[in-house]
């Protein structure tokens, strides 16, 4: 399944050098593991130079051996238990955690992000130890890095992402992904999956990382490995949400947690057992990594409390009386005639009553609930302010005179907030002097109600307020449609840009992209003083395939060659189709010897990948010219021309070979 990732944009971000990436010892560890000739002893020696990573590595290994076996005590044992792929990813994850503990994006909570990622990694490990769909040590790393796209956006676009995160608080009905797409034509799901793939995590991991937040989009068959990993990631993320939630919010999250757990085959007891174990590990790992953790009660206790709260809310539901003729429930107090045409449910509002008089609150509440409104109460202005920001009511009924903060002061304070500006506020007062009413309207009050309250007049005021609220909601929906259209337009533009930079036959980037990318890599090489190499690949005797077998066969040969080339290249290499039968490979951070070795792998792969067509085997081969940047070259074109010269040599030598026009390995790159 091809993920909707803007490859061109990702490669551009990667070339900028600003994406979160491993550093120091972690980078040395990753490079050693990529080198097939390196020995375990050499790897252990490098790891021991970082005592912090040694401790984390051994703890990760001990988390897998169980309680009935001898504890791991050495780096060598840990390497054998974990395996090199897991060690590489652990080094990557812990390096990012150490290097990006803080940043300049003010609205991005780095500490909460990393402790949440830790919980998600531990939860993935605990879940997978039961589902057995993958190696537990590898899914720990997957859980730790699954949200890395958010960190990357906060790092790349600190000021703009700060604004995006603040908008999620203002527009809670709009997803973070949508706002990211509008701002960057890229979202954290896409960017994170691309980074995981680029770091070498297999498809079975980086694809579920993309779909974890919206598993219904994946289309995986139920019970498949990808399905279980995706749902497990979703459950692990929700466990992190529960652990990081405020104490009073946790019980209300448990029913949803059990529903998510059922998707991976866990019953309530299993979910509670897994989560309790995750919390214990979280405390231990948090201390080791110097991350803040929280005290979380047993999950069974949270579940029981959640059920009690749900039962209490059900018991407090407004009473109904039965219509003897129709057998349908009617609201108690229907005689006030608030809704005589439409159903109460279609017109129901969230209403907050703020009054220091408990009897008045009860009286108004009874009227409102009788016609289907959802009502909460606040006994004073201060708590009314807090509840308004949390509950986000459509309408507030506020008493003018209250101890502490008056109704007018509360209204003025609310109008200074984004949420409060959209609330319809009706103030109750026994003072009807013109000056006082003018003061009320000037401070943001929408309507007033004289005391004592007349139920029929209150109903009329509510209908008037509801009309205003509906108009505002329609306006908000129109704005959302415009935002959605803008997001779709951004996606369409991005796809058009990708098509413009992609070769339709091979799926490789085209010549236009290659020219831009060479420029970028040349700048990175100049800035970092690192080597840069290039290969020009030409399909031998390609015209013969077209002349002898037709263009369809020629296209098939090109596809076969492209697949072999791509499979033989390294993760950091960039390949583009620059002509009919010609390809350009850009090799960042690569000297001449390494580029020649890579080119030989490519030549061998093409030679040993014959094409079977209509019962016939068609063999193919390529000639490759290789060049590396040296101190004589003044611009990127010089590098490509030198590789072209080498390609000419390869053809003159009889084709199906690799050549370079540079006699010896160049010295350090000195930018001109």
3-state secondary structure 87-155: HHHHHHHHHHHHHCCCCCCCCCCHHHHHHHHHHHHHHHHHHHHHHCCCCHHHHHHHHHHCCHHHHHHHH
Neighbours of 480 (CB within 10 A): 14
CATH of residue 607's domain is 3.30.70.270
Q: Is the pLDDT at 331 greater than 60, yes or no? A: no
Average pLDDT over residues 323-342: 37
Q: Are residues 148 and 261 in the same domain?
A: yes
Q: Are 235 and 263 in contact (CB under 8 A)?
A: yes
Average pLDDT over residues 524-534: 88
Give the integer Cα–Cα distance in Å for 255 and 484.
31
CATH of residue 110's domain is 1.10.3210.10
Q: Is the pLDDT at 546 greater than 90, yes or no? A: no
Q: Are residues 293 and 343 in the same domain?
A: no
Task: Say whether 602 sits in a helix, a strand or coil.
Answer: helix
Q: 610 — alpha (psi -120 to 50), left (phi > 0) or beta?
A: beta
Which residues does 364 contact at the CB level (< 8 Å), separation at least 6?
353, 355, 397, 453, 458
Q: Are residues 295 and 426 in the same domain?
A: no
Q: Are residues 568 and 553 in the same domain?
A: yes
Q: Are residues 109 and 60 in the same domain?
A: no
User: In the structure, what pLDDT confidence band is assigned to residue 448 with cuts at 50, 70 and 90?
Assistant: confident
* Residue 484 in domain: no
- When mean pLDDT is compared over 27-41, 333-347, 610-624, 649-663, the highest value belongs to 649-663
Q: Is the pLDDT at 660 greater than 80, yes or no? A: yes
Q: Is the pLDDT at 88 greater than 50, yes or no? A: yes
Q: Are 636 and 525 in contact (CB under 8 A)?
A: no
Q: Are 575 and 563 in contact (CB under 8 A)?
A: no
Average pLDDT over residues 487-492: 70
**Average pLDDT taken over every residue of the chain:** 82
Structure confidence at residue 322 (pLDDT): 39
Structure confidence at residue 334 (pLDDT): 39
Q: Are 127 and 78 in contact (CB under 8 A)?
A: no
Task: State what percent of residues in the chain have pLDDT above 70.
Answer: 87
- When mean pLDDT is compared over 245-254, 326-335, 362-371, 458-467, the highest value belongs to 245-254
Task: State what percent of residues in the chain have pLDDT above 90.
Answer: 32
Lowest mean pLDDT segment, chosen from 171-180, 209-218, 351-360, 394-403: 171-180
Lowest mean pLDDT segment, chosen from 183-192, 398-407, 660-669: 660-669
- When mean pLDDT is compared over 115-129, 317-331, 412-426, the highest value belongs to 115-129
Q: Residue 536's closest CA among 570, 507, 511, 563?
A: 511
Which helix H or strand E contains 178, and what residues bound it? helix 176-184
Q: Are 587 and 532 in contact (CB under 8 A)?
A: yes
Lowest mean pLDDT segment, chosen from 274-288, 308-322, 461-475, 626-640: 308-322
Q: Are residues 136 and 281 in the same domain?
A: yes
Q: DSSP state, 502?
A: B
Which of these three, 410, 445, 472, is where a domain ends?
A: 472
Specify the higher pLDDT residue, 129 or 498: 129
Q: DSSP state, 223?
A: T
Which of these three, 424, 453, 472, is where a domain ends?
A: 472
Structure confidence at residue 494 (pLDDT): 66
* Residue 505 in domain: no
Specify the higher pLDDT residue, 179 or 670: 179
Give the integer Cα–Cα distance in Å for 445 and 448.
8
Q: Residue 406's closest CA among 386, 389, 387, 382?
A: 382
Structure confidence at residue 3 (pLDDT): 59
* Residue 486 in domain: no
Q: Are residues 166 and 273 in the same domain?
A: yes
Q: Are residues 256 and 159 in the same domain?
A: yes
Average pLDDT over residues 609-625: 83
Lowest mean pLDDT segment, chosen from 3-7, 43-47, 411-415, 603-607: 3-7
**Burial class of residue 379, CB neighbours in 10 A (0-12, 13-18, 19+):** middle
Q: Are residues 82 and 128 in the same domain?
A: no
Q: Is the pLDDT at 41 greater than 60, yes or no? A: yes
Q: DSSP state, 220?
A: P
Q: Are residues 125 and 86 in the same domain?
A: no
Structure confidence at residue 340 (pLDDT): 38
User: In the structure, what pLDDT confidence band is assigned to residue 387 with cuts at 50, 70 and 90?
Assistant: confident
**DSSP secondary structure of 377-418:** EESSHHHHHHHHHHH--SEEEEES--SSS-HHHHHHHHTTST
How many Å from the N-terminal Cα to the C-terminal Cα in the chain? 44
Specify the higher pLDDT residue, 16 or 97: 97
Task: Say whether 629 sits in a helix, a strand or coil.
Answer: coil
Q: Are 26 and 92 in contact (CB under 8 A)?
A: yes
Handedness of CA 255, 251, 211, 280 (dihedral sign): negative
Structure confidence at residue 316 (pLDDT): 45
* Residue 665 in domain: no
Omega before 93 within 30 of 0, i.e. cis: no
pLDDT tens for 53-85 read 777 778 777 776 544 456 677 777 777 777 777
Specify the higher pLDDT residue, 5 or 633: 633
Give the integer Cα–Cα distance in Å for 204 and 225.
8
Average pLDDT over residues 110-131: 92
Average pLDDT over residues 257-263: 92
* Residue 666 in domain: no
Q: Are residues 110 and 93 in the same domain?
A: no
Give the integer Cα–Cα distance in Å for 263 and 227.
9
Which of these three, 283, 317, 351, is where a domain ends?
A: 317
Structure confidence at residue 522 (pLDDT): 92
Total domain count for the chain? 4
* Residue 8 in domain: no
* Residue 322 in domain: no
Give the integer Cα–Cα distance in Å for 225 and 303.
29
Structure confidence at residue 512 (pLDDT): 87
* Residue 13 in domain: no
Q: Is the pLDDT at 319 greater than 50, yes or no? A: no
Q: CA separation (Å) from 72 to 33, 81, 137?
A: 21, 9, 15
User: In the structure, what pLDDT confidence band is assigned to residue 172 with cuts at 50, 70 and 90?
Assistant: low
**Residue 80, domain extent:** 20-99
Average pLDDT over residues 419-443: 83
Q: Are residues 297 and 340 in the same domain?
A: no
């Amino acid at each position: 399944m091809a993920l909707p990732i803007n490859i061109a944009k990702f490669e551009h971000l990667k070339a900028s050098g600003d994406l979160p990436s491993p550093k120091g010892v972690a980078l040395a560890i990753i490079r050693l593991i990529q080198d097939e000739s390196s020995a375990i002893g050499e790897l252990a020696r490098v790891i021991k130079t970082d005592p912090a990573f040694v401790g984390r590595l051994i703890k990760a290994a001990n988390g897998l051996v169980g309680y009935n076996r001898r504890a791991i005590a050495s780096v060598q044992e840990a390497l054998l238990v974990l395996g090199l792929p897991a060690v590489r990813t652990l080094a990557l994850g812990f390096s990012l955690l150490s290097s990006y503990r803080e940043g300049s994006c003010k609205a991005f909570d780095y500490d909460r992000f990393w402790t949440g990622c830790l919980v998600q990694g531990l939860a993935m490990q605990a879940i997978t130890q039961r589902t057995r769909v993958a190696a537990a040590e590898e899914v720990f790393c997957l859980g730790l890095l699954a949200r890395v796209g958010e960190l990357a956006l906060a790092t790349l676009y600190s000021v703009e992402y700060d604004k995006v995160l603040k908008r999620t608080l203002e527009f809670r009905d709009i997803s973070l992904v949508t706002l990211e797409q509008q701002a960057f034509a890229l979202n954290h799901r896409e960017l994170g999956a691309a980074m995981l793939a680029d770091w070498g995590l297999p498809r079975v991991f980086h694809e579920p990382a993309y779909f974890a937040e919206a598993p219904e989009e994946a289309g995986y068959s139920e019970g498949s490995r990808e399905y279980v990993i995706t749902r497990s990631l979703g459950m692990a993320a929700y466990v992190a949400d529960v652990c990081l939630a405020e104490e009073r919010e946790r019980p209300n999250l448990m029913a949803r947690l059990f529903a998510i757990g059922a998707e991976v085959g866990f019953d309530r007891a299993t979910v509670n057992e897994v989560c309790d174990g995750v919390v214990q590990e979280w405390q231990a790992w948090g201390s080791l990594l110097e991350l803040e953790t929280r005290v979380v009660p047993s999950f069974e206790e949270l579940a029981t409390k959640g059920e009690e709260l749900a039962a209490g809310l059900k018991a407090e539901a407004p009473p109904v009386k039965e219509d003897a003729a129709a057998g349908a429930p009617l609201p108690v107090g229907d005689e006030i005639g608030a809704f005589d045409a439409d159903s109460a449910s279609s017109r129901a509002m969230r209403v907050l009553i703020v009054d220091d008089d408990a009897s008045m609150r009860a009286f108004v509440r009874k009227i409102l609930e009788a016609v289907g409104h959802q009502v909460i109460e606040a006994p004073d202005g201060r708590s009314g302010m807090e509840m308004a920001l949390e509950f986000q009511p459509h309408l507030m009924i506020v008493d003018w005179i209250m101890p502490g903060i008056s109704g007018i002061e509360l209204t003025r304070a609310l109008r200074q907030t984004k949420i409060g500006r959209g609330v319809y506020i009706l103030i109750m007062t026994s003072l009807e002097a013109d000056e006082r009413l003018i003061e009320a309207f000037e401070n943001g009050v929408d309507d007033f109600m004289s005391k004592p309250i007349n139920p029929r007049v209150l109903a009329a005021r509510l209908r008037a307020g509801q009309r205003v609220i509906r108009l505002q909601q329609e306006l908000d929906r129109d704005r959302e449609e415009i935002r959605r259209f803008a997001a779709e337009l951004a996606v369409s533009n991005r796809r058009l840009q990708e098509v413009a930079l992609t070769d339709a036959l091979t799926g490789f980037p085209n010549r236009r992209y290659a020219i831009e990318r060479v420029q970028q890599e040349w700048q990175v090489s100049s800035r970092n003083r690192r080597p840069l190499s290039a290969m020009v690949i030409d399909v031998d005797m390609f015209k013969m395939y077209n002349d002898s077998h037709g263009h369809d066969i020629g296209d098939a040969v090109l596809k076969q060659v492209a697949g072999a080339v791509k499979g033989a290249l390294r993760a950091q290499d960039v390949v583009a189709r620059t002509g009919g039968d010609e390809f350009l490979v850009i090799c960042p951070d690569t000297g001449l010897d390494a580029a020649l070795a890579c080119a030989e792998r490519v030549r061998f792969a093409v030679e040993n990948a014959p094409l079977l067509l209509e019962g016939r085997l068609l063999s193919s081969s390529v000639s490759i010219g290789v060049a590396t940047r040296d101190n004589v070259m003044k611009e990127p074109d010089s590098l490509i021309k030198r590789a072209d010269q080498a390609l000419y040599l390869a053809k003159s030598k009889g084709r199906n070979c690799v050549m370079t026009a540079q006699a010896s390995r160049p010295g350090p790159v000195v930018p001109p």
